[in-house]
Amino acid sequence: MRLAVIIPSYNHARYLPAALDSVLAQTRPADRIIVIDDGSQDDSPALLRSYASRGVEVHARENRGAHATINELIALAAADCDLISILNSDDHYHPHRFAQCLPLLEAQPHCQVVTSGLHIIDQHDAPLSPSEPRAKWFRAVWSLQHPERDLCEWLGVANFPATTSNIIARTAWLQRFPFRPYRFNHDYYFLAQTVLRGALSVHPDPLVHYRVHGANTMNSLPAPLLREMLRMSLDLAHDLAPELASNPALRANYAIYTRAQWDSISSFHGGLYQSLLATAAAHLSEADIAQAVAALSSEAYPELATYPNKSLVNQWDGQTPVTAARGLTDQYEALRLREKSQHALARGYKDLAALRQRLANSRWLALGRTLGFWAPPRLPSAPPAAQATALAAALAKQPWVRLGQRCRALPPAPLA
């Protein structure tokens, strides 16, 4: 697989050599290194041009912001690279980062994004003092890591990957979830979309040097951070809503994530979030609310078949506080729903495969294809059960299929 490293550069001439040299020194070399200078006012453009002879592709333009620059870099890399690694111009990589992280993507087809542990450094490349607030925060976040930790829960508590420099992803996944116009949280939104779909892997070793210095965007008053986190959370809910209605496994993961947010050690304020939800609900009529609740059918929402806290009570040991095991019971319920979803997915694949096999075995359809009277319809990008339904519906409308049914060359409703 071809790998591109993309670097959004902005006023980091002091740190750029370390960033670029760390990419060029990788034991598994990158296939492309692409930099866009986002309107820097320091010596960054000249410094970048000095690396062009070493294979670094350099572009420069006016300032458009980090999220726009990253999305533009992704579009450039997508021309010929399957994987993309993002590196902010003030951070740098461990020399074995790619050699250790890429095998996780190669061995796990479901994995779309890999992150790792971090070294936290200061402006002089020294380890950040343990007494510094940001160092304490990172230690607190990574103290939550253990093999049984659900990644949805961990990400709900804090953005543990912490930086776009800690993202290696499949190109198509980055295109599916482009970075949003946030100043602080564009990586958080992307990572939430990834974790909720079970598509993240975490390498435990610290393979990124994340720099904390006075110009970091995170050095801000609380209000801008809190507002943006609230916006991001509402944007995420808005974008997930259509899929949540048909995907029990995603709902289970989202439930774990949102419950964990109330224990956030980042900038999520649960009380303000509930106030915003109340404001949104105030724009609905009573009839709208009643209709939305009535639309939760037992077929589409298997959660309605049991009380939500049944497992919590049934597994109580009679001594510890009954809610102490809530995290484990939530994970149990999520696993149960995921198992149901996997069974439904397997049935969908089976039905779709059977349908396609009948297509392949039909001599009438083979004749029609040879004569140019028929071609297999294109299927939507959808779960297999929906594809099977769409295929059957599309075939039922095709004249050659209907002619075959009338001539008894095809049985009635042969592919429904």
Helix (H, G, I), strand (E, B) or coil at 84: strand
**Residue 381 and residue 328 in one domain:** no
> The CATH number of the domain where 200 resides is what?
3.90.550.10
Q: Own/partner pairs for 412-415, CB < 8 Å, 24+ apart?
A: 414/358, 414/362, 415/355, 415/358, 415/359, 415/391
77/346: higher pLDDT: 77
**Residue 313 and residue 381 in one domain:** no
Q: Give a yes or no: residue 224 inside a domain.
A: no
Q: Give a yes or no: residue 225 inside a domain.
A: no
pLDDT (0 to 100) of residue 146: 84
Q: Which one-letter DSSP state was computed for residue 65?
A: -
**Residue 184 and residue 75 in one domain:** yes
pLDDT (0 to 100) of residue 325: 60
Q: Give a yes or no: residue 316 inside a domain.
A: yes
**Residue 322 and residue 354 in one domain:** no
**Residue 180 and residue 278 in one domain:** no
**Residue 279 and residue 401 in one domain:** no
Q: From 294, 323, 341, give the residue that closes a domain.
A: 341
Q: Give a yes or no: residue 96 inside a domain.
A: yes
pLDDT digits (tens, 9 = 90+) for 105-118: 999 989 999 999 99
**Residue 264 and residue 318 in one domain:** yes
Rounded Cα distance between 95 and 103, Å, is: 15
pLDDT digits (tens, 9 = 90+) for 142-178: 999 887 789 999 999 999 999 999 999 999 999 999 9
pTM, full prediction: 0.78
Q: What is the mean pLDDT of residues 308-318?
A: 74
**Residue 138 and residue 28 in one domain:** yes
pLDDT interval class at 67 (50, 70, 90): very high
Q: From 165, 186, 218, give the residue that closes a domain.
A: 218
Q: What is the mean pLDDT of residues 241-260?
A: 92
User: Which residues, at least 6 apart from 310, have a Cβ–Cβ distance to it below 8 Å?
Assistant: none
- Domain carrying residue 401: 350-406
- Residue 372, classified by CB atoms within 10 Å of its CB into exposed (0-12), middle (13-18) or buried (19+), is exposed
pLDDT at 397 over 90: no
In angstroms, the Cα distances linking 279 to 68, 275, 309, 345 are 31, 6, 28, 37
Strands (E), 360-416: none
User: Which residues, at least 6 apart from 410, have a Cβ–Cβ distance to it below 8 Å?
Assistant: 362, 364, 365, 401, 404
For the chain, what is the domain count? 3
Q: What is the mean pLDDT of residues 342-350?
A: 75
Q: Give a yes or no: residue 121 inside a domain.
A: yes
Rounded Cα distance between 128 and 134, Å, is: 8
User: Which residues, at least 6 apart from 64, have a Cβ–Cβ distance to it below 8 Å?
Assistant: 38, 39, 72
Rounded Cα distance between 67 and 411, Å, is: 55
pLDDT digits (tens, 9 = 90+) for 69-83: 999 999 999 999 999
